[in-house]
Amino acid sequence: GGACMDRIRADGLRVITSPDYPPYESTDDQNNIVGFDVDMVNALAEEMGVKAEFTGQGFDGLIPSLVAGRADLIAAGLSVTPERAESVAFTDPYEETINVIVVAADDNTVTSAENLSGKTVGVQLGTVQADMAREIEGADVRDFNLFSDALGALKSGQIDSMIVDAPVGEEYVKVHSDVKLAGEMDGGSKALATQLECTDLVAELNAALATLQGNGELEAMRAKWFTE
């Protein structure tokens, strides 16, 4: 029994994400959603014998959409927080990472969060980075709907810095020679999220995750997508 698996087995697993956060998720030139989270969820779905269907939307609306029952799963490089755990159920974590500060390549004024006092800090609306930036004394926080828009603003000199999950910062630096990493900040765990009542789905996802961790498949996907 359980609240969700019967329906998911019949109709498929509806996955939502905000595809602006490579290497977790982005869109390719044919507008397909691709990335580590996509490969991981497809592999989990295969283990579970269900079919996953991805839809993109703004990060800030992901939890409201899930809670409203418009999706079964969030896969979005989503950080586990106590506040979020009041409205969604998290699977076991699939990684631990720190955050990084990203600045223009020719900016030599920033080596840590303290240096962001008096500077503009770009983040994505509704993220843990948006909260972290607001805790930096004197920082002037700018919220963007998409992290990719914040990166555009940094590259064009409209903002001084960004805070992103370390794998994303490393991906930026690999692709964009005009930005660099300029300091580290605390991080945390990432997990998939389901509706609170979908305990059967969480149990199946956790079992499948353990399988992919045990057989090395998850590690192979990390090697494919992450610069390390």
Of 7-15, 74-82, 207-215, 220-228, which segment contacts ligand ARG by CB under 6 A? 74-82
* C-alpha atoms less than 13 angstroms from C-alpha of 113 in its C-beta half-sphere: 15
Q: Is 91 in the site for ligand ARG (CB under 6 A)?
A: no
> Do residues 186 and 124 lie in contact, with contact meaning Cβ atoms separated by under 8 Å?
no
Which of 23, 77, 167, 169 contacts ligand ARG by CB under 6 A? 77
Q: Is 95 in the site for ligand ARG (CB under 6 A)?
A: no
Instruction: Give the residue with the Cβ less far from ligand ARG, 104 or 166.
Output: 166
Which of 40, 44, 102, 128 contacts ligand ARG by CB under 6 A? 128
Q: Is 127 in the site for ligand ARG (CB under 6 A)?
A: yes
Q: Report, in Å, the least distance between residue 147 CB and ligand ARG.
A: 5
Of 17-25, 46-54, 88-96, 150-158, which segment contacts ligand ARG by CB under 6 A? 17-25
Where are the strands (E) in the chain, listed by range? 13-17, 26-27, 33-34, 52-56, 73-74, 88-90, 95-104, 120-124, 140-144, 161-165, 179-190, 193-195
Nearest to 4 by CA among 204, 214, 198, 211: 198
Q: Report, in Å, the least distance between residue 132 CB and ligand ARG.
A: 9
Q: Is 25 in the site for ligand ARG (CB under 6 A)?
A: yes
Which of 147, 167, 179, 198 contacts ligand ARG by CB under 6 A? 147
Instruction: Give the residue with the Cβ less far from ligand ARG, 147 or 225.
Output: 147
Instruction: Give the residue with the Cβ less far from ligand ARG, 79 or 115.
Output: 79
Q: For residues 93 and 111, give the distance between their C-alpha atoms in angstroms, rounded to a whole number.
A: 29
> Do residues 72 and 194 lie in contact, with contact meaning Cβ atoms separated by under 8 Å?
yes
* C-alpha atoms less than 13 angstroms from C-alpha of 161 in its C-beta half-sphere: 31
Nearest to 129 by CA among 100, 95, 90, 158: 100
Residue numbers 44-63 binding ligand ARG by CB under 6 A: 59
Instruction: Give the residue with the Cβ less far from ligand ARG, 20 or 47.
Output: 20
SS3 40: helix
Q: Is 90 in the site for ligand ARG (CB under 6 A)?
A: no
C-alpha distances in Å from residue 116, one per residue of 33, 122, 170, 188: 33, 11, 20, 21
Catalog residues that contact ligand ARG under the rule CB under 6 A: 17-18, 20-21, 24-25, 59, 76-79, 124, 127-128, 147, 165
